């Protein structure tokens, strides 16, 4: 229900007070308390942004454009105290019973997030800040290349300043890794060759050696050359950057690589989070935070097994459509090995993949009015994952647009090897990462005017990834998948997410090995051997994260089907999607309340 509708329908609001009494609040009182709450939320968010130079840059703010974030333990402790102080203010100074609908949601979300942050402080080291998928070691380069725009000489100077202070950032990173090791928290041995290679890639090429320009040098030179500056000024900037690369970046990376090589010699092959101190308890908390439900690990495991069985049966129906003779395993092998399902692993083939992805998104964009009332203003582009990180990066991912429009939303496709990006999955992947998937839920949230910034830019994985997976299914209902193989690709990707429920809990609850997880994927999906290996390795370093997709999708479908049943002919898919998307990313229980309120309103 929209804010304006809510105020129109409810001139006065009646809520239960803490003393089990009833108090009536006038519309003016509700407005005044809601404005006070929003002022607090905005102040909290803005002050948090002020403490994070990197987040400022993601938001297109250039206030501390020459700085990195503080990764120190002291900064962690400071943030904890700020969270406690803000929570106390919220509880003492804001009356949740006298708030408008969206402000009540904001109150609840802020309160729960603060309480979780305080409770989870004990788990702050139960993660792997450097891993084969992401981490500060690759973030430095990807951040400077993709986020640090250079539109004038001051931006170029800030870029050089950031290069010159990477050593401080890496000293803090190494200290954080040391603290974790002292607590018995280190990733498995397989992680280290990948992180070391990714780090070495960044300091390969000019000016570090006599090869072609390194990724950072090429990026800085390109950005400076595009400026309206004298040749001498451009040359001075380039020389300053090269000095920073040689004198700061290279030693910083060499120190990190040496540290990681030392840890590699001490690492074990144990994979599950159960190996960490109080690991079982941590996993239960992680699942709760990821899914925003009270589902147990065993319940999630069983849900995964049931979904795998259902999807396998639907795949067998597609086998009949294409007249394939053989069992499902043979069909998987056929799809993995037949060349018709893959673009050539050449520059031309990879460019063709990108062009096809753009066409899929453009076609879907032309039909959005059939599904949506609210649509994003932000543009979207499709981009190949950069060479320096494509070996370690995931299959595909989305980066939100800058709120000021200076950077479009970006769907990244990892084309290190086209054999890992089959044609039959292209459509579902583009729908998930692009439109109507993440580009819509993230951009619409950022563009909302009815919610505070902490909700515009925050997120709950089950909601965000649940929407992404749901967005693969909706085009099926519209007849958008071009052929049975593409529809199989949709099912293959849904199956992939169902298997995640089984394998994540298998590794972290049932103590499966990495090899057992890989075997489960290879026996039950059509994905390449490499994809199966990479997925299991993702489970290992990001316990619980991959369970969000299927749990979120199932909840959205459950809510949609419940609304259809109650509303009958009065159900409007466009209105349903508006309810889901126009409050930003929320926990699944809040989403359920929003949908139920909408159903009740339409039923009047």
Summarised one tens digit per residue, pLDDT across range 76-108 is 999 999 999 999 999 999 999 999 999 999 999
Q: What is the pLDDT of residue 12?
A: 35
Does the pLDDT value for residue 229 go beyond 90? yes
Does the pLDDT value for residue 5 go beyond 60? no
Q: What is the pLDDT of residue 19?
A: 40
| CA 154 vs CA 30, 165, 306, 490: distances in Å | 46, 17, 57, 47
Q: What is the pLDDT of residue 7?
A: 34
Task: Give the residue among 118, 48, 43 at the shortest CA–CA distance from 77.
Answer: 118
Does the pLDDT value for residue 3 go beyond 50? no
Whether 44 contacts 111, CB under 8 Å:
no
Q: For residues 157 and 148, what is the distance between their CA atoms, to the nearest angstrom?
A: 11
Does the pLDDT value for residue 21 go beyond 50? no
Q: What is the pLDDT of residue 18?
A: 40
Q: What is the pLDDT of residue 392?
A: 67
Q: For residues 130 and 132, what is the distance between their CA atoms, to the nearest angstrom?
A: 7
Q: For residues 418 and 513, what is the distance between their CA atoms, to the nearest angstrom?
A: 28
- List phi, psi (to 5°) of 379: -80, 165
Does the pLDDT value for residue 6 go beyond 60? no
Does the pLDDT value for residue 13 go beyond 50? no
Q: Which two tokens stand for residue 88?
A: 């106390």
Q: What is the pLDDT of residue 404?
A: 85
| CA 371 vs CA 65, 581, 593: distances in Å | 40, 12, 22
- Segment 23-49 shows an average pLDDT of 95
- Taking each continuous run of H as one helix and of E as one strand, the counts in the chain are 26, 5
What pLDDT, in 10s, does the model give residues 426-454? 999 999 999 999 999 999 999 999 899 99
Read off the pLDDT band of 386 (50, 70, 90): confident
Read off the pLDDT band of 388 (50, 70, 90): confident
Hey, where are the domains in the chain?
3-124, 136-268, 281-554
Q: Which residues pair with 213 in a beta bridge?
A: 206
pTM score of the predicted model? 0.90
- Segment 247-276 shows an average pLDDT of 97
What pLDDT, in 10s, does the model give residues 551-604? 999 999 999 999 999 999 999 999 999 999 999 999 999 999 999 999 999 988
What pLDDT, in 10s, does the model give residues 109-126? 999 999 999 999 999 999
Q: What is the pLDDT of residue 483?
A: 93
Read off the pLDDT band of 156 (50, 70, 90): very high
Q: Which two tokens stand for residue 288?
A: 């709760």
Task: Enter the CATH code of domain 3-124.
Answer: 1.20.58
| CA 296 vs CA 44, 163, 460, 509: distances in Å | 33, 45, 18, 10
């Amino acid at each position: 229900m929209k804010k304006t509708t809510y105020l129109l329908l409810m001139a006065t609001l009646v809520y239960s007070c803490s003393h089990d009494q009833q108090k009536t609040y006038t519309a003016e009182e509700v407005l005044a308390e809601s404005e006070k709450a929003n002022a607090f939320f905005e102040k909290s968010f803005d002050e948090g942004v002020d403490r994070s130079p990197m987040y400022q840059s993601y938001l297109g703010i250039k206030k501390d454009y020459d700085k990195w974030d503080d990764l120190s333990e002291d900064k962690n402790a400071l943030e904890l105290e700020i969270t406690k102080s803000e929570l106390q203010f919220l509880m003492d100074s804001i009356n949740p019973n006298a708030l408008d609908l969206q402000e009540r949601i904001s109150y609840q979300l802020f309160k729960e997030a603060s309480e979780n942050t305080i409770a989870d402080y004990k788990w702050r080291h139960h993660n792997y800040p450097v891993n084969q998928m992401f981490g500060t070691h690759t973030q430095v380069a990807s951040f400077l290349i993709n986020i640090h725009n250079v539109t004038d000489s001051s931006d170029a100077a800030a870029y050089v300043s950031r290069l010159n202070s990477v050593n401080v950032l890496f000293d803090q990173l190494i200290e954080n890794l040391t603290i974790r090791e002292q607590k018995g928290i280190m990733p498995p041995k397989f992680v280290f060759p990948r992180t070391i290679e990714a780090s070495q890639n960044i300091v390969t090429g000019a000016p570090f050696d006599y090869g072609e320009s390194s990724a950072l040098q090429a990026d800085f030179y390109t950005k400076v050359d595009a400026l309206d500056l004298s040749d001498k000024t451009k040359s001075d900037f380039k020389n300053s950057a090269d000095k920073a690369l040689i004198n700061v970046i290279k030693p910083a990376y060499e120190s990190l690589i040496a540290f990681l090589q030392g840890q590699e010699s001490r690492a074990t092959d144990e994979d599950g989070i159960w190996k960490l101190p109080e690991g079982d308890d941590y996993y239960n908390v992680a699942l709760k935070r990821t899914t925003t439900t009270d589902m147990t690990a065993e319940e999630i495991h069983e849900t995964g097994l049931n979904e795998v069985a259902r999807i396998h049966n639907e795949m067998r129906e597609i086998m009949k459509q294409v007249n394939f003779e053989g069992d499902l395993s043979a069909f998987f092998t056929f799809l993995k090995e037949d060349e018709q399902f893959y673009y050539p692993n050449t520059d031309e083939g990879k460019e063709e993949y990108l062009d096809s992805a753009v066409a899929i998104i453009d076609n879907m964009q032309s039909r959005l009015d059939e599904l949506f009332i609210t649509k994003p203003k932000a543009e979207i582009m499709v981009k190949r994952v950069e060479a320096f990180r494509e070996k370690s990066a995931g299959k595909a991912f989305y980066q939100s647009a800058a709120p000021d429009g200076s950077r479009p939303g970006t769907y990244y496709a990892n084309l290190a090897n086209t054999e890992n990006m089959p044609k039959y999955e292209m459509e579902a992947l583009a729908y998930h990462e692009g439109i109507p998937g993440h580009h819509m839920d993230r951009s619409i949230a950022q563009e909302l005017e009815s919610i505070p910034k902490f909700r515009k830019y925050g997120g709950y994985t089950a909601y965000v990834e649940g929407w992404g997976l749901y967005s693969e299914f909706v085009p099926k209902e519209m007849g958008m998948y071009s052929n049975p193989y593409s529809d199989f690709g949709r099912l293959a990707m849904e199956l992939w997410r169902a298997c995640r429920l089984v394998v994540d809990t298998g590794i972290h609850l049932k103590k499966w090995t990495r090899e057992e997880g890989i075997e489960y994927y290879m026996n039950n999906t059509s994905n390449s051997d490499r994809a199966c290996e990479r997925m299991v390795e993702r489970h290992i370093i990001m316990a619980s994260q991959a369970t969000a997709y299927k749990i979120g999708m199932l909840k959205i479908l459950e809510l949609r089907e419940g609304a259809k049943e109650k509303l009958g002919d009065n159900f409007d898919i466009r209105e349903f999607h508006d309810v889901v998307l126009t409050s930003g990313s929320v926990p699944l229980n809040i989403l359920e309340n929003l949908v139920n309120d909408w159903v009740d309103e339409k039923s009047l």
